[in-house]
Amino acid sequence: MVKRTWGHLARDGNAAGLRRSGWAVLFLVSLALLIASHRWVQSVHVQVGAIAPQDITATRKVVDTPRLIALRRAALAKVQPVYVTDDSAISESLATMRRLFARVALAQKSLPPHPTPGKLVAVWQSKVGLTVSAPVVEAILGLSAHELKGIEQDEAQILQGVMSRAGYKPSQSPAELQAVRSAVEDLGLSNARTAFMWAVGAASLRPTLVYSASETTLARAKALSSVPVPYIYPGQIVVSKGTRVTQAQVDILRDLDLLRPHSNLWALLGALLETALVMAVGLLFIRRFARRAFTRESAYVMVGLVAVVTLGMARLLVTVAPPLIPLAFASMLLALFFPSLTAAILGVLIGILAAAATGLSPGLVITLMLGGLVGALTMPRSAQRADVARVGAFVAVATLIGFVGSRVLDGEVFNHFSVWTGLLWSLANGAASAVIVIGSLPFWESVFDLITSVKLLELSNPKHPLLRRLLLEAPGTYHHSLMVANLAEAAADAVGADGLLARVGAYFHDIGKVMRPYFFVDNQFGGENPHDKIAPSLSTLIVTAHVTDGLELARKAHLPEEIQAFIPEHHGTTLVKYFYNKAVAEGAESVREEEFRYPGPKPQSRETAIVMLADTCEAAVRAAKDPSQEAIGQLVRKLIREKLYDGQLDESNLTLKDLETIAQAFVHVLAGVFHSRIEYPEEIRRMREKEGVRPVEGASQ
């Protein structure tokens, strides 16, 4: 009943444009509402320090920004400034020390013959500039060059030893000075010399570790990257009833848009724009690359309803178990009705809408969409229910890999628990997608009158009432249909058409002959031909009537429209030559060729055109007497040319290259059936007849 109602609506062309616009608006609004409902929340009115009147829960997944900031501050606090070794510190220190000793030597040369203590201090201050007491100045300037050189060597060893022993930061200079003092005192020199060496060491020391801004920045960045991102998940309580609201909680509520007034209208507007864009992209793809698969309005409506159902399931599961959202359901289901690439692209577009309707993390969305792509691209063209289950297993494997990969990308710890969790979610997602597809398949087939390979396999069952009736009431036509089906399937597969559709269409293409089976040569079996007693014009009406009779039987049996199309299109508008020539030969007045043609239409698809050619070639070759393979090839190509020149293939999208491929496929099949018979020698024939054995007609060579 539903199918008949849909068919009636589809055939009503008076309001076709208005109806299509209505469907587009309906799906646009429905999808936009589902997307906007993700952000439709009641605004809450809370302030810092107020008591929450109720529990306030998160409506979507957001980053816990206050906690993230606190974690990052704690991580940065643990990062110490990074110091690196200054390889030039020792050499610079020794150079400074040597300059000081050189100044002392210069000061000695600048002294007058008998300097006073005051004069010694003055020369020291002007030439050396090192702060020491007057007795130390007098003692050092009184040293010989040899003694001064010995002190310089001791000073160099002390500095090099102290600075090489451990790294020193600028803040650690007192400890380094103490090390120099201890080393100088261990020499056991006079107090003046000890004080001088200590002063030189203090002036010459350099820090061996220096602060590195770049290394410190890298350490801080590494510490920040190691901080896991905390999330607030849908349904999680942000503010508990009766508690005092904190600034951090207000910040989270603001991120959740719970504090934004009048957000619903803006959310709806944004959802409408996003949905309109996705729908426009989908229509552009269909018009450019998949027009042949969308010749009927019901195909568009089905895609829209699949999108609505998918988004509805996503909205229900997002707060319960987001990894269970069956995005692969859409791609797998569409792959049963449309080409795999078309199903994959439409599945991705539906996945984009589902992501907007749920607010899932990018990693999870990509994982689920990749599972859908695998489902669409691995679905066989002639899929059965077992194949759907197998594709569900492929989806599970793809989502498992995606789950593990997304967790690693999100910085989560990779352990056995995460692997097992991902495995369970993947199996559940793949199984759920397959179960939903299998369970809902009869609904989509019946409501939208679309055909799948599963439905075609069911129709090909010999126990189908129409095929059973054809076998019992018109057995010749039945066997002719089987042969045409074999030819059509082989040719369709050869040119990349739907071989299963061609085979099943061939099974039913002549079912109208059951109404008057003996008016067709298939079922006369050498008996009297009723057409010999009636006028050619009446014979033509009877013969062509099997098309309308077949359509009536097909509609009563609720055959899909794709199968019904084979009944009128396999004849197209061809001329019933036998009766037309008979009428012309009888000298009938005003014989009009149009009255001796089938009503049409011409084949509108490659599959119906192939069945037309197979029907013609099979009948002609069967009527030929012991044709050779070469003769079959010539006859097949002659008949195909006649259909081409008659314009019967103009609307079928078959190319000249396709026609040659079809001819080769026909010859291959027909040559294996209508091959030459064995000629028995006369002696063997007489001997076998004497023994009561007759030669088998059509025995293979």
Would you give the DSSP letter of residue 239?
Answer: E
Q: What is the pLDDT averaged over residues 162-189?
A: 70
User: How is residue 680 written in tokens?
Assistant: 């028995």
How many other β-carbons are positioned within 10 Å of the β-carbon of residue 409? 12
Confidence of residue 175 (pLDDT cuts 50, 70, 90): low
Cα separation of 628 and 635, whole Å? 10
Contacts of residue 563, Cβ cutoff 8 Å, sequence gap at least 6: 451, 459, 504, 505, 508, 554
Contacts of residue 290, Cβ cutoff 8 Å, sequence gap at least 6: 338, 339, 342
Q: What is the pLDDT averaged over residues 148-153?
A: 87
Answer yes or no: is pLDDT of 352 > 90: yes
In this predicted model, which residue has the larger pLDDT, 90 or 688?
90
Q: What are phi and psi of 57, to 5 degrees?
A: -110, 155
Residues 258, 27 contacting (CB under 8 angstroms): no
Answer yes or no: is pLDDT of 173 > 80: no
Cα separation of 49 and 353, whole Å? 39
Cα separation of 645 and 640, whole Å? 9
**Span 571-590, pLDDT tens digits:** 999 998 888 888 888 776 67
Answer yes or no: is pLDDT of 465 > 80: yes
Instruction: Give pLDDT, residue 533.
Output: 78
Residues 422, 404 contacting (CB under 8 angstroms): yes
3-7, 215-219, 496-500: which range is least confident on average?
A: 3-7
Cα separation of 610 and 50, whole Å? 78
Nearest to residue 100, comparing CAs of 206, 199, 208?
199
Q: Which span out of 64-68, 153-157, 410-414, 565-569 was modeled with the highest average pLDDT?
A: 565-569
Answer yes or no: is pLDDT of 679 > 50: no
Q: What angle do the packed helices 629-645 and 606-623 form, to 10 degrees? A: 130
Q: How far from the centroid of its chain's Cα atoms is residue 481's Cα?
A: 42
Confidence of residue 700 (pLDDT cuts 50, 70, 90): very low
Cα separation of 89 and 204, whole Å? 10
Instruction: Give pLDDT, residue 643.
Output: 94
Q: What are phi and psi of 25, to 5 degrees?
A: -65, -40
Structural domains in the chain, sorted by start = 83-211 (no CATH), 278-452 (1.10.1760), 460-685 (1.10.3210)
Containing 211, the helix (H) or strand (E) segment is strand 209-211
Sign of CA dihedral 537, 540, 542, 547: negative
Instruction: Give pLDDT, residue 450.
Output: 77
Answer yes or no: is pLDDT of 227 > 80: yes
Q: What are phi and psi of 693, to 5 degrees?
A: -110, 125
Query: What is the average pLDDT value for the chain, to the nearest integer?
Result: 83
**Span 8-63, pLDDT tens digits:** 444 444 556 688 888 999 999 999 999 888 666 555 677 788 887 778 777 777 88
Answer yes or no: is pLDDT of 415 > 70: no
Sign of CA dihedral 629, 632, 634, 636: negative
Confidence of residue 152 (pLDDT cuts 50, 70, 90): confident
Instruction: Give pLDDT, residue 277.
Output: 96
Nearest to residue 367, comparing CAs of 405, 416, 393, 331?
405
Contacts of residue 612, Cβ cutoff 8 Å, sequence gap at least 6: 569, 570, 571, 572, 574, 603, 643, 648
